[in-house]
Structure 1
Amino acid sequence: MEYEKYAIHDEGLMSFKAASERLGKNKDYLKKQLYLHPEWFDQNTYKNFGKTYLITQQGLDIYKIRATLRNT
């Protein structure tokens, strides 16, 4: 799979908190899902910096597909 490169100020890069809110979930939703279901995330599309986790839009799209497939 080909991955896009993101700059820190890129709109396609967001915190887990912001991504969780985009999904309509509480702010800690994606961190909890990463802990419970790491296989739903692509390792090349998220990164943690201290206590802050960042995810790309591509990573969020992959998560949504994998989580949906798992829950059907």
Structure 2
Amino acid sequence: MGVTAPFRTTVTVVGMTCGHCTSAVSSELAAIAGVQDVDVTLVSGAVTVASERQLSRAELAAAVAEAGYGLAD
């Protein structure tokens, strides 16, 4: 990620199986106000979000749910 943002949050998304999945998750997370960059790793399910403000787990979970996936516990 080439963006320097004051906040970075990493979560694990479950259920992704292909590039379309990662694109859907990335698009939904990128639509959150203040998000500057999203890095999704398909194999591990790790998603790192760089943002201008602290993002809550609930906010991230809602965006991921809009894409049709969930967060690991």
**Which one has the bigger strand percentage?**
2
TM-score (norm 2): 0.31
TM-score (norm 1): 0.32
- Larger relative contact order (C-alpha < 8 A, sep ≥ 6)? 2
**Which one has the bigger helix percentage?**
1
Q: Which has the larger radius of gyration?
A: 1
